A and B are shown apart, each in its own frame.
Chain A
Amino acid sequence: MRRVPWALIVFLAALFVPAAGSRYYTFLANDVIIWALFATSLNLLVGYTGLVSFGHAAYFGIGAYTTGILMKKVGVSFLLAFPTAGIVAALFALVFGFFCVRLTRIYFAMLTLAFAQIVWAICFKWNEVTGGEQGMPEIPYPDFAWVDRVAAFLPFLGGYRTAEHFYFVTLLLVAACLVLLRRIVGSPFGRMLATIRENPERAEFIGVNVRRYELAAFVLAGGFAGLAGGLFGIFNRGVFPDFAYWTKSSEVLIMTLLGGMGAFFGPALGAAVLIWLNQQIVSYTEYWPLVLGTILVVLLFVFPGGIAGAAMALRHRLRRRAARA
C-alpha cells in the first residue's frame, strides 16, 4: 500500500475552504484547526510521555489572555503577541511543571488540576487586568492592511474578508507548529519520551533523567497550547475565563482520546470529528453532553485506540488477510 501523503492533501484542501464554502464552514474549519493544535500539544504529554494532565487548559488560557492583553491593552502587533503567548505559556508550564513532574499518576493529575484552577481563579477575579467575569471582548484582528497592497500583484489573495485572512494565518501557523511537533516526536528526544511512557522505572535504570525529560515535554506541550490559545482568543473575538476552567481540559482530553492517542494526527482528527459532530447534533437536540458521554463510553469499551487506532487495526487486519491470500 503506497504511503498516501494525507497530511499534505488535507492541508491543500483546507486552503480552499474559504473559496469553496460559506462563511460558516470557514468558521468551523478555523475552530477545528486551532483545537487540532491544542489537542496535539496535549498528546505530547498523554500519548507520547504517558502523563495524564487535567489542567492543560491553563496554558491555553494563559496564551489567550497574553495575546488579548498585549494586542488590546498594550497595542502590540500580532507578529509579536503570538510568539509571546507561546513563550509566556511555556514559562508558566516550566514553573508548574517543575512541581508536577515530581509526582506520579493521580497526584500528578491533581496538581495539574490545582494549578489550572489557580490560573482560572486569577483570570476570573483579577478584574483590572483580565476583565474578570466579563472577560475581554473585542480582541483586534491582526493588521491585514498589507494584504490589499500585495493583492495588487497577486490577485488570488484579494477579495477575502478579515475573518478569512485570519483563517489563512491560522492554517499556516498551525501547520508550521504541527510540522515542528512532528519533528520533535520523531527525534531521539521523542523516542526517549516513548521509552519513559512504556516503563519509567526501566528508563531510570538505564540512566535517563526521567524528570528532566518529562519537564521538557510539559514545557513544550504548554507552549504549543499557549500558541493555540493565542489564536483562539482572536478567533473567538474575545477572551473569557472559562478558557482555563477544568471542563475545557476534559474537552481537549476527550478529543485526543477520540482521535487516537497512538497516532500523531489522531488528536487533530478527534478535534475535527468532535467539532463537526457537536454542531450537527446541536441543531437537533440540546442534549449534546448526553451524546458525547455515550460516544465516550463506546470509545472506552470498544475502541480505546480512538478512530485512528481503529483505522490502523483495520488496515493491519486487511494487510494480514492480503498477505495470507
Chain B
Amino acid sequence: MRSQRWFQRRRVGLGWRPADWHGWVVTLLAAAAAITVLVLLRGSPARIPVTLVIVAAYAVVALATGGGRPAEEAPATTDEPSDGELPGPVGGVEQRLALRALTSARVSPSSTDEPALVVEHLTKRFGDRVAVDDVSFGVAAGEVFGFLGPNGAGKTTTVRMLATLITPTSGTARVAGVQLDAANGVDIRKRIAVMTENPGLYLRLTVAENLRFFAGLYELEQPESRIGHALAAVNLSGRADDLCGSLSKGLRQRVALARALLSDPAILFLDEPTSGLDPVASRDVHELIDGLRDRGVTVFLTTHRLEEAERLCDRVAILNTTLRTIGRPDDLRDRLFTKSLVVRTAAPLTSPDAVFAVTGVDGWRADDTTRYTLTVNDTRLAAPAVTRALVAAGADVLSLAEARHSLEDVYLELIDDDIEARS
C-alpha cells in the first residue's frame, strides 16, 4: 500500500523528508518564503525571527503529516518476499495449461526438421585472450541442449554471440533459421529469448509493468492476455502488482522466466537459470524446462550444475574455450569410461585370478579386501558369467552391480585433462 503521508522520517540522520507531492509543495513554498524574506528584509532585524517562524511552521507541518516509509521506498534487494503468501510451485495443471496457451504448437523434433541452431567454427577473441576457440555444434529443434563448462570457459560469450549481443571474431552460425549477422540482429532477436544469469528486472516497476515493457519491445498482439498466461505459467498470477524490488531472488528468477516466455521463442537461451537458487526454486525452474520440452521449445541451457544437465538435457556439450566433447550423457560416459562391474563379498576371495578368468572380463582390480572392480566389454554378458563363477568358488556375494559414472565424472575427467595439459 502506498503511504498517504506527506513526510517520512529519514532512515539515516535526523529529521523528515517529503514523501509525496504535498510534502514537496510545502517544502518549496517554505524555501521560497524563507529566501524571499531574507532578500526583501535585507538589513532588517526582523528577518531572522521571521525566517525562524517559517522554519518552525514547516517543521510543524512535517511532524503533523509525517509517517512511515512509503511502499515505493521499500528496499530493492530483499531476499524474502515482502508480503503476501509464497506462491506455490511450478508444474501443476494450471501452469501446464498456461504454458500450452503461451507456446505455439510445434511438431515433435525429427531428422527432417531444420536444426534450431547450427554453429560452425565460432571464435571470439578479446584482444589477445581467446574466449571461444573454433567451436562447432548443432542443436535440433525441440531439443534441450546443455552447455557445460567451468567459469570462464566461454559459455556466456557463446550465448551472447548467438543472441547478436557481441560479434564473433570468425565463424558462422544459423540461429532459428537466420544467418548470424549484424544486419539480421532484429530478425534473430525476434525468434529467441535470453534469460540472463542476473534477472535484470526494473525493481521500481511492478511484475506486470516489467512484462508489459518487454511485450511492447516484441510488439506482441494481445499483450495483456500473454502476460496473464506467462505469469500463470510460473505461478505468479497473484503477484502481478508487486514491485519487483520486493520479490525474493527465486521469485525474480521466475519473473525473468515469464519475460522470456512472453514472445513464444523458437529458442530459449537460459544462462545459469538456477544460479543462487535454493533447491525448491531450482526444482520449479526444472519443472518449467520439462514443460517447455513437452511443448517442443528448443532450450539452450548453460550451467555448471551437472546434475541439472544430466536430469534435463537430451544432449550436452562440454566447453573449455574449445569444445571438449558433445553427445548424450550416456554416450559420453561410454566414450570416456570403460564398462565395469563392482563385486562386493563378505570375505576376501582366496583366488580372485581364477574366479574372474571368465568370458567377457578383460581385467580386474581389488579396491579393498572385499571389493573388486572388473573391466568388461558387455555387462549383460559378463554379469551372469561372473555370478556363476563366484557361486562355483563358494564366495559369499553381497552385491554385484554395474559401475555408474555420472556426468560429473565425465566433466571432471575432461577438465582435469585440460588442467594437466596446460600445466
Partners in one complex: no
